[in-house]
Amino acid sequence: MVQRRPHPGRSRARWLGFSAAIAVFGASLTACVGVIGDADEDTTEAESLVLAAPALPRLTAAQYQSSLAELFGASMPKAPLEDDTKPFLFYNIGASSTTLSEFGVQQYEESADAITRYAFADPARRAAFVGCEPAAPGDACVESFLRRFGRRVFRRPLTDEEVTRWVGIAQTLADPSAWEGLRLAVSGVLQSPHFLYRAEVGVPDDAAPGRRKLTGYEMATRLSFLLWNQGPDDALLDAAEQGDLDKPEGVAAAAERLLDDPRARSAMQAFFRQYLDLGRLDGVQRDPAAYPYFTPTLKEAMRREVELLVDDVVFGSRGDARSIFSTRKTFVNADLAALYGIEAPGATTDTFVPVELPADGPRAGLLTLGAFLTMNAHETRTSPTARGKYVRERVLCLEVPAPPPGVDTTLDPPMGDPKTVREQMEAHRTNPACAACHNFMDSPGFLFEHFDSSGYYRTVFADDVPIDSSGDLDGKPLANARDLATVLETEPRVGRCMVQQLYRHAQGRVETKGERLALEDLASRFAGASFDFRTLLIELVTHDAFRYIGEEESP
């Protein structure tokens, strides 16, 4: 049972009925909500594009906060919310597949109350926010504001019935003043499922039987949350109202505008942080005595290095997006320069500078940078399995099954003479229950053995035991991580994997078999654009797979 705490003003606001509203809202959309997951594995390959029914994603915490910051300002109070989850890597998928607890509902209520008290407490702030002075509860000022505000919050115009309802709430709760009634109405709007959830219902399209075309306002919402990670602005809603988003060329023009805005860089960084799993850096710990280069600020430096590299490839040079796994260009501060053993004039602990990694050095691409190497290693030793698994799953989008039930995955501590990690892992690689998967993961994982658990390059183990960094990728023998970077530079699966990950992030679900043609088409367009990621974004948002949804199957 959830223990509920008393809340100021709840007796008046509770009847706004979030729980009842979500029940009605969900029931009204039953015919339009799909199920997350893959299609039946036994079905044959789709011969035409068959779109999945829509999801009903709740706003992620970041989307919720950034949307409200646009409306109320960055200094608004930020109340805690229920934690997001990220199955299949992405918070958007978690938002489409997890339910909200009773306590989560309470948190939304408390957040709305805190934000509206902040907005309405100061006379100058509330006057600027509302834009007029209510002369009486529910008057023309209140109605015009609720229409404007509701359009931004619900990401579409309010119906006349909705306007009447919210004006009525402002009138009924106007005690001791019209301002208080309006505050509570705004608080209720912020708790509405029409704000907290993204409904994608679409309309029937005679030209495309079996599909529903998203409306202009639904497209505005999809575009904005993908490219800005927040709700649409007035210009995008105006484009929807004028019908500009009903055609691919209008969608492309709107997307170009959004991508030129700094908010797009922030949203794409959020995508790549999830895709590359940078959140795992938070849990990295190393003993400074054993790893002298691992300074207290190094984890954040590693994270920032990857962010700067991604930003340069996607928005700066707009080069081949696959090059993040092979480029010799990176951005370092003084700590990273020391770890990598390179010169970086102008770098300090706080200042990052662009550098070109030595052509004859051991590093090239993200998989030889500190973030990847430390995230995928144990606290006191490397992990070829974790590093190889990352290559398989994150870079090539291949599935690595979980260990069979009852199989011991721990390694025995070394006995007698020092053993290399490769020698210790032979027990797994020779065990029939483990061999197939470990060969699949460990073969590319061994390529990184020259890099220790902190990302430092070494040539020998303890007591001068030589390091063997040889391995392979799908039977192709490779000597080290640099060889792998060279292979990944032109590996077709890298580009296709980026398309797949972006598609899942944008849709808030895993693709179905019927959508594989869409992924193949987008991968082809990506390749045709020399793997320019910005072009991929435009191709995605103008594609039928983004502008249409499938019909919900009858039970």
pLDDT of residue 555: 55
pLDDT of residue 135: 94
pLDDT, tens digit, for every residue of 480-519?
A: 999 999 999 999 999 999 999 999 999 999 999 999 999 9
Q: What is the mean pLDDT of the chain?
A: 89
372 Cβ contact list (under 8 Å, min separation 6): 276, 366, 387, 390
Each residue of 68-103: b (16+ CB within 10 Å) or e?
Answer: bebbbeeebeeeebbebeeebbbbbbbbbbbebeee
pLDDT of residue 30: 36
**405 band by pLDDT with thresholds 50, 70 and 90:** confident
**37 band by pLDDT with thresholds 50, 70 and 90:** very low
What is the C-alpha separation between 139 and 146, in angstroms, rounded? 11
**Low-confidence winner among 139-148, 184-193, 411-420, 491-500 (lowest mean pLDDT):** 411-420
What is the C-alpha separation between 390 and 376, in angstroms, rounded? 8
What is the C-alpha separation between 222 and 120, in angstroms, rounded? 31
Do 186 and 116 contact (CB within 8 A), yes or no? yes
pLDDT of residue 425: 76
Q: How far apart are the two ends of the chain, measured CA to CA in Å?
A: 33
Q: What's the whole-number mean pLDDT along residues 462-485?
A: 94
217 Cβ contact list (under 8 Å, min separation 6): 155, 156, 237, 240, 241
Instruction: Count each helix (H run) and each strand (E run) in the chain, helices first.
Output: 26, 7
pLDDT at 525 over 80: yes
**552 band by pLDDT with thresholds 50, 70 and 90:** confident
pLDDT of residue 345: 97
Angle at Cα 237 formed by Cα 249 and Cα 225, nearest 5°?
80
pLDDT of residue 424: 78
What is the C-alpha separation between 179 and 478, in angstroms, rounded? 70
User: Residue ranges of the alpha helices (H) in 260-412?
Assistant: 262-275, 298-311, 334-340, 370-375, 384-390
Q: What's the whole-number mean pLDDT along residues 349-364?
A: 97
pLDDT of residue 42: 40
Sign of CA dihedral 61, 66, 69, 71: negative
pLDDT at 434 over 90: no
pLDDT at 341 over 80: yes
Of the chain, the percentage scoring pLDDT greater than 90 comes to: 80
Do 473 and 444 contact (CB within 8 A), yes or no? yes
For the chain, what's the residue count? 555
3-state class of 52 per DSSP? coil
Domain ranges, ordered by start, for the chain: 59-196, 207-271, 272-402+419-488
- 449: closest CA among 440, 460, 434, 438? 460
pLDDT, tens digit, for every residue of 70-91?
A: 999 999 999 999 999 999 999 9
What is the C-alpha separation between 198 and 139, in angstroms, rounded? 30
Q: What's the whole-number mean pLDDT along residues 41-49?
A: 53
pLDDT of residue 415: 56
- 398: closest CA among 501, 481, 285? 501
CA 488 distance to own-chain centroid: 24
In terms of Cβ atoms closer than 10 Å to its own Cβ (0-12, 13-18, 19+), residue 386 is middle
pLDDT of residue 313: 94
pLDDT of residue 400: 86
In terms of Cβ atoms closer than 10 Å to its own Cβ (0-12, 13-18, 19+), residue 324 is buried
- 367: closest CA among 426, 318, 327, 338? 327
**428 band by pLDDT with thresholds 50, 70 and 90:** low
pLDDT of residue 411: 58
Angle between helices 492-507 and 516-528 (to 10 degrees): 120
**413 band by pLDDT with thresholds 50, 70 and 90:** low
User: Residue ranges of the alpha helices (H) in 341-469?
Assistant: 370-375, 384-390, 421-424, 426-430, 432-445
pLDDT of residue 410: 64
Q: How far lies 231's CA from each of 36, 217, 358, 504, in Å?
A: 23, 11, 44, 19
Q: What's the whole-number mean pLDDT along residues 52-58?
A: 89
Do 259 and 285 contact (CB within 8 A), yes or no? no
pLDDT of residue 394: 96
Q: How far lies 42's CA from each of 140, 422, 512, 513, in Å?
A: 60, 38, 12, 10
295 secondary structure, DSSP code: -
Q: What's the whole-number mean pLDDT along residues 423-440?
A: 73
pLDDT of residue 429: 64
pLDDT of residue 114: 98
pLDDT, tens digit, for every residue of 212-236?
A: 999 999 999 999 999 999 999 999 9
pLDDT of residue 554: 57
Q: What's the whole-number mean pLDDT along residues 406-416?
A: 60
H-helix or E-strand spanning residue 105: helix 102-121
pLDDT of residue 36: 28
pLDDT of residue 486: 97
Residue 231 sits at φ, ψ, to 5 deg, of -65, 160
What is the C-alpha separation between 507 and 34, in angstroms, rounded? 12
Do 106 and 96 contact (CB within 8 A), yes or no? no
pLDDT of residue 147: 98
189 Cβ contact list (under 8 Å, min separation 6): 146, 149, 150, 153, 154, 166, 195
pLDDT, tens digit, for every residue of 276-327?
A: 999 999 999 999 899 999 999 999 999 999 999 999 999 999 999 999 999 9
pLDDT of residue 407: 63
**Low-confidence winner among 14-23, 133-142, 429-438, 520-529 (lowest mean pLDDT):** 14-23
3-state class of 29 per DSSP? coil
What is the C-alpha separation between 89 and 502, in angstroms, rounded? 11
pLDDT of residue 408: 63
CB-hemisphere CA count at 13 Å for 485?
A: 21
